[in-house]
Amino acid sequence: MEQKFLPLCREDMEARGWDQADFVYVIGDAYVDHPSFGHAIISRLLESRGYRVAILSQPDWKDDKSITVYGEPRLGFLVSAGNMDSMVNHYAVSGKRRAADAYTPGGVMGKRPDYAAVVYGNLIRRTYKHTPVILGGIEASLRRLAHYDYWSDRLKRSILLDSGADMISYGMGERSILEIAEALEAGISIQDLTYIEGTVVRTRSLDSVYDALVLPSFEAMQKDKTEYARSFYTQYCNTDPFSGKRLAEPYPGQIYVVQNPPAKPLTQMEMDDVYELPYRYTFHPSYQAKGGVPAIEEVRFSLTGSRGCFGGCSFCALTFHQGRIVQSRSKGSLLSEAKRMTKEQDFKGYIHDVGGPTANFRHPSCGKQKDSGVCPKKQCLFPKPCGNLRADHREYVDILRALRQLPGVKKVFIRSGIRFDYLLADSDPAFLRELCLHHVSGQLKVAPEHVSDAVLELMGKPKNQVYRQFVKEFAKMNRRLEKDQYLVPYLMSSHPGSSWKEAVELAEYCRDMGYMPEQVQDFYPTPSTLSTCMYYTGLDPRTMKPVYVPKNPHEKAMQRALIQYRNPANYDLVKEALLKAGRTDLIGFEKHCLIRPRKLSGEKTSVQRSPGNSKDKKRTDRKNIGRKTDDRRSTGRNGSGRKTDDRKSAGRNGSGSQTNARRSTDRNNAGQKYSRKKDSEKRTAKRRT
């Protein structure tokens, strides 16, 4: 029998013969029953344990009645803002509102509120005063304690307090949500559920909270950013499910927000069970008339093979959400899902991705992690690979080979990104060979992010020489295989630590690479990352040393433009940046220069005289007597009065382009030669006469 979607409206619930749902799941996304969507996993998992779950997708937050569609649930409300933080979903780093929302039917923007988890929580609480409300999803996870909010540019309280919810289930949530459901089913009050791993609760006393580390108070952090930096680093060092301590954050009025240690990672069997639940692998049919849900296209023919990441990038929130211990599905589970894909009508033979946060992480980084967890104050790959690192791609290669052999599969791509430093740490070149031979379609996207070692250190990334080594190995392997394939590097501008010096260094690298990146990520200070803490406090919380932070929007725009200096639209920003950096040596006609010299838009200029001997100057002066000078013609225009395009003028003379002065000289000299020629012809004609 075909599996049904979970109820999306009152009629769906009644059609199942239910008079009441156990849980009403309020989500900021459209309802997509696919394991790449958190609400699908949690709802199907609860269903598998016998609970009745109804989905309330994108309720109208301006209408209190929108939350009463199903009536009061028997056990409680679950709330998630969606697969993304609602503010990241709505706004670019520049603050400009995005035009579309891929997680809404038809890609329509505006179907969820800003700070959706807070708004939904209060919407529920206004109507249902005593019904348990449990927050989940990435927005709640990354805002579970006091956090810097980029969009309001201030420190915010725990989302638990602002939303009116009773509890947060943070992280991936499978273990904690089942334990919460079982406790509520047993009649335990949600106020008494203070002990569940992977949850955040509030209390008025620490008497029943054991072994908690007390963080700086919210008031102290508001007054002193140094206190916030210290608090954040304590949180950062307690994200491991084995060694992580219970944390308590004090608030005014004798309130404490208590974060219990993270839930234990899933075993491979448990991971397989989660991904083999009876999903429909598509959006609810009611969305078809609206154009479907765009986000499904990215994941429809992709396989999630793992979760968790020990990469340790400072700007990534995965440490706080999925943790550093890698958990993976079995080969059999992945093959089973791939076989299902091949039977879908729209499958064209291409599996778009086999990976996770990092595609080539398939197992914990070392043997001790399964029982003892990760090292709290050490990274597995940074600043260089740990001596205990187990760099081994054999299992991943075996899975990729098996997928390629499936009937109906033409090609298997790897699009979720690889860690090139981890690849280089593996002495066996088999994975690199297989990658180049079978899993790249001309271009491989990698993320060196920057070239300055000072910035890379703050990012938690390997030194630039490691990336350069990978570039060599990639090129060598492709030559051996007689493949014409290229690397497409992802680069990031205006990360903390990136001053003008580092920004120009990155631009020079792009010049030497002979490639203008189409995609540049301007650093986005999202909640609960090390880099965001640096951005807000101006300190590296690991060392408490000051860090330069480019915050001014115009400076950020200039740093971004430097990376794409070849784009004519960026000329003014690039020139201004080079002047500020004191790098006028990069403005000129030599090969190493980034841009040609010309005036900035709207900048007034004086008439440029032609260089030459005094006679030429006198002749030029005589020609100009009584004439009006047009500044616009003398600057940035060619002989025909049209604007000069630096790219078009390049190569017309020995230096690659012509200056205004040189063009003026050329025109004058040509006129003088022409005049002398005419005089000579007249004299010759007279003699003949």
Q: What is the pLDDT of residue 662?
A: 38
Q: What is the pLDDT of residue 606?
A: 46
Instruction: Could you list the residues known to form a binding site for [4Fe-4S] cluster, using ranges.
Output: 309, 313, 316
Gap between the Cα atoms of 42 and 25, Å rounded: 9
Instruction: Could you list the residues known to form a binding site, using ranges.
Output: 309, 313, 316
90, 109 Cβ separation under 8 angstroms: yes
Q: Is the peptide bond before 597 cis (omega within 30 degrees of 0)?
A: no
Residue with the bigger pLDDT between 455 and 648: it is: 455
434, 477 Cβ separation under 8 angstroms: no
Average pLDDT of the chain, as a whole number = 89
Q: What is the DSSP-derived secondary structure letter of residue 156?
A: E
User: Tens digits of per-residue pLDDT, 136-163?
Assistant: 999 999 999 999 999 999 999 999 999 9
The domain made up of 442-604 has a fold known as Transcription Regulator spoIIAA (3.30.750)
Q: pLDDT band for 629, please (50, 70, 90 cuts).
A: very low
- The yes-or-no verdict on residue 302 having pLDDT over 80 is yes
Give the count of beta carbons closer than 10 Å to the beta carbon of residue 469. Answer: 15
- The yes-or-no verdict on residue 448 having pLDDT over 60 is yes
In this structure, whether the domain defined by 301-441 belongs to CATH 3.90.650.10 is answered with: no
Angle CA 618–623–626, to nearest 5:
115
Tokens 């944390």: give the residue.
Answer: 247
Q: What is the pLDDT of residue 407?
A: 97
Gap between the Cα atoms of 235 and 212, Å rounded: 12
Taking residues 513-520, report their average pLDDT.
84
Q: pLDDT band for 603, please (50, 70, 90 cuts).
A: low
User: Tens digits of per-residue pLDDT, 397-447?
Assistant: 999 999 999 999 999 999 988 999 999 999 999 999 999 999 998 899 999
Q: Position 200: which residue type?
A: V
Domain extents in the chain: 10-201+254-259, 301-441, 442-604
User: Tens digits of per-residue pLDDT, 103-140?
Assistant: 999 999 999 999 999 999 999 999 999 999 999 999 99
Q: What is the pLDDT of residue 518?
A: 79
**Nearest to 359, CA basis, from 420, 416, 303:** 416
- Tokens for 231, please give them: 């608090």
User: Which segments of 424-527 are extended strands (E)?
Assistant: 443-449, 486-493, 520-522
Gap between the Cα atoms of 618 and 607, Å rounded: 16
- The yes-or-no verdict on residue 649 having pLDDT over 50 is no
Gap between the Cα atoms of 446 and 444, Å rounded: 6
Strand order in the sheet with 255-259: 53-57, 23-27, 76-80, 133-136, 167-169, 199-203, 255-259, 246-251, 212-214
User: Tens digits of per-residue pLDDT, 13-53?
Assistant: 999 999 999 999 999 999 999 999 999 999 999 999 999 99
Whether the domain at 301-441 and the domain at 442-604 fall into the same CATH topology? yes
User: Tens digits of per-residue pLDDT, 208-239?
Assistant: 888 999 999 999 999 999 999 999 999 999 99
- The yes-or-no verdict on residue 317 having pLDDT over 60 is yes
Tell me, letter by letter, the H, E, C secondary structure of 534-578: HHHHCEECCCCEECCCCCCHHHHHHHHHHHCCCCHHHHHHHHHHH
Q: Rounded to two decimals, what is the model's pTM?
A: 0.86
Tokens 């004058």: give the residue.
Answer: 668
Q: What is the pLDDT of residue 604?
A: 58
Q: Which CATH number fits the domain 10-201+254-259, given the four candidates 3.40.50.1100, 3.90.1280.10, 3.40.220.10, 3.40.50.2300?
A: 3.40.50.2300
Whole-number percent of the chain with pLDDT over 90 = 83
